[in-house]
């Protein structure tokens, strides 16, 4: 009986000790969690709030997300959620290209397009060839090509006995895009001699009679392309199914499907093949319209060492070109600038690889880490581009302190609710002119990086990168806008 009593007491004692230890451990764990949350909140004040937003969307568990933000006033990190992880940046890649271009080429850099001949015109005649050389101008458009032609006429040229020879050797001949890439405007190939962003505009309007082909007008009007019109004018209020496709490796465009008889005119842009020949052909057609006869043909060649300049056209400055690039996210302009950096800084013909090397040099010289910058283009069209939110924020932090080009860089970004790719986002008055950022979109990729001017009057640099297998752009944009709103209200 005594042994039984002793055993019971011992069991009760050890049970008490076990419960006490278990309770103490639980209290310790809770204390650790509280301390951890408190420390985390002290380190990254907005972390929990932003993670809570992300977690409130069940579908976000399928999307890899990184968020990093820092106050440029205090240097304090506000959020570090997978800040060092690698993501596909899409068009956020342009932030690196444009920063490097402003630093390496300078805001006032401009791109020449030059007309040469073997001699100055004599009695309106140039005996021999007329030469056209391009230096990668990304903003050479119809109006500027007309001005170039008028200047040739003002120089006294009335007839050329030889050929119109184009020289596009400033860029190396290389493929920017896969062979099966669709001919959409955003995937136009680069070229040292290109006009209209290497695209063609097709203005299509319905016929006055149903069942008839719609009318098609091309801008510029040129015989360089062929149009096959298989489109049909459909009944009023029917669905528009109009499409414009291009035959592989040819500038033959096919208009297909239907446009309702009551539908307003539609403009569709498509990328062309062989940009240098396209530019030279359009110039020759303009010269003919101005009464300047070219006896020969259009062909590729190089400029003779003794050739003289008939006219030199200079592009608008790089600063204004970059504003157009970032605000509307133009891939063609980004690639033109990337290859120009390669040619100007590395020497020889410009290539994608040389341009990327210039960006990496810029990052190193700026004291920025390059290990999380893995690039294969300058525009962000490739899914092989990889970078981290922190890397982008480090870049944004650095550029904000560069007096020589910071204003141009900042003003190139879209303003939320005002212009560019952010015109329809964050439009309320609280946000008015307080968010400047660069979007990035690919299938399954949605990114937003830039600056916020917060309620306590500090500039916050941020980067939000989202990668997933499914295309959930609307949800991602909504979350990004909510995160930006938190950054704006911080303080």
The pair of structure tokens assigned to 72 is: 């440029």
Quickly tell me which residue has 């506000």 as its tokens.
Answer: 78
Residue 278 CA, chain-centre distance (Å), reads 24
Adjacent-strand bridge partners of 30: none
Q: List the chain domain ranges.
A: 47-108+317-489, 112-174+275-314, 188-271
For the cut 60, the answer to whether the pLDDT of residue 3 exceeds it is no
Of residues 323 and 15, more confidently modeled: 323
Closest CA to 113 of 284, 405, 314: 314
Q: What is the pLDDT of residue 28?
A: 41
The pair of structure tokens assigned to 451 is: 């600056």
Under the banding of pLDDT at 50, 70 and 90, the label for residue 33 is very low
Pairing relationship of beta strands 435-442 and 445-453 according to DSSP bridges: antiparallel
Q: How many CB atoms lie within 10 A of CB 241?
A: 13
What is the average per-residue pLDDT within 476-485? 96
Q: Do the Cβ atoms of 443 and 386 come closer than 8 Å? A: no
Q: Do the Cβ atoms of 313 and 155 come closer than 8 Å? A: no
DSSP 90: G
What is the average per-residue pLDDT within 381-388? 96
pLDDT digits (tens, 9 = 90+) for 263-314: 999 999 999 999 999 999 999 999 999 999 999 999 999 999 999 999 999 9
Q: What is the pLDDT of residue 32?
A: 41
CATH number of 112-174+275-314: 3.50.80.20
pLDDT digits (tens, 9 = 90+) for 311-356: 999 999 999 999 999 999 999 999 999 999 999 999 999 999 999 9
CATH number of 47-108+317-489: 3.40.710.10
DSSP track, 382-399 = -TT-EE-HHHHHHHHHHH
Under the banding of pLDDT at 50, 70 and 90, the label for residue 458 is very high
Adjacent-strand bridge partners of 214: none
DSSP track, 182-246 = --BGGGPPP-SS-SGGGEEEEEEE--SSTTSPPEEEEES--TTSEEEE--EEEPTTPPP--EEEE
pLDDT digits (tens, 9 = 90+) for 172-227: 998 776 555 678 888 899 999 999 999 999 999 999 999 999 999 999 999 999 99
Rounded alpha-carbon distances, angstroms, from residue 41 to 30, 45, 50, 73: 16, 5, 12, 19
Q: What average pLDDT does the structure give for the chain?
A: 91
């Amino acid at each position: 009986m005594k042994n039984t009593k002793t055993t019971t007491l011992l069991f009760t004692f050890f049970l008490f000790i076990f419960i006490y230890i278990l309770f103490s451990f639980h209290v310790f764990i809770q204390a650790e969690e509280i301390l951890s949350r408190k420390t985390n909140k002290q380190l990254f004040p907005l972390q929990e709030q932003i993670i809570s937003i992300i977690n409130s969307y069940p579908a976000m568990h399928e999307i890899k997300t990184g968020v990093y933000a820092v106050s440029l006033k205090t240097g304090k990190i506000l959020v570090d959620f997978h800040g060092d992880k690698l993501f596909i940046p899409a068009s956020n890649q342009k932030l690196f290209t444009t920063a490097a271009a402003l630093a390496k080429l300078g805001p006032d850099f401009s791109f020449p397009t030059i007309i040469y001949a073997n001699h100055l015109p004599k009695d309106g005649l140039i005996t021999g060839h007329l030469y056209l050389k391009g230096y990668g101008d990304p903003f050479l458009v119809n109006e500027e090509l007309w001005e170039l032609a008028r200047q040739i006429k003002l120089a006294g040229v009335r007839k050329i006995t030889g050929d119109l020879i184009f020289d596009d050797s400033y860029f190396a001949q290389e493929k920017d895009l896969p062979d099966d890439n669709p001919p959409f405007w955003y995937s136009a190939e680069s070229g040292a001699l290109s006009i209209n962003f290497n695209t063609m505009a097709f203005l299509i309007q319905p016929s006055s009679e149903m069942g008839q082909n719609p009318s098609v007008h091309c801008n510029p009007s040129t015989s360089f392309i062929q149009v096959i019109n298989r489109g049909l004018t459909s009944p009023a209020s029917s669905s528009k199914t109009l499409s414009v496709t291009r035959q592989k490796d040819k500038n033959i465009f096919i208009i297909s499907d239907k446009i309702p008889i009551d539908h307003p005119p539609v403009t569709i842009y498509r990328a062309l093949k062989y940009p240098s020949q396209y530019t030279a052909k359009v110039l020759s057609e303009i010269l003919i319209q101005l009464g300047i006869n070219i006896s020969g043909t259009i062909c590729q060649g190089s400029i003779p060492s003794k050739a003289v300049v008939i006219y030199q056209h200079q592009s608008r400055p790089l600063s204004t070109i970059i504003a157009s690039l970032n605000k509307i996210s133009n891939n063609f302009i980004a690639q033109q600038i990337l290859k120009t950096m390669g040619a100007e800084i590395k020497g020889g013909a410009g290539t994608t690889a040389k341009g990327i090397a210039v960006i990496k040099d810029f990052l190193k010289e700026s004291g920025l880490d390059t290990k999380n910058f893995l690039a294969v283009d300058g525009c962000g069209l490739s899914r092989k581009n990889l970078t981290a939110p922190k890397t982008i924020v480090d870049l944004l932090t650095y550029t904000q302190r560069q007096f020589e080009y910071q204003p141009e860089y900042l003003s190139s970004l879209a303003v939320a609710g005002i212009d560019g790719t952010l015109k329809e986002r964050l439009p309320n008055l609280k946000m008015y002119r307080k968010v400047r950022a660069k979007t990035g979109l690919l299938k399954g990729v949605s990114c937003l990086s830039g600056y916020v001017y917060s309620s306590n009057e500090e500039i916050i640099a941020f980067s939000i990168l989202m990668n997933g297998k499914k295309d959930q752009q609307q949800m991602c944009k909504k979350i990004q806008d909510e995160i930006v709103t938190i950054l704006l209200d911080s303080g």
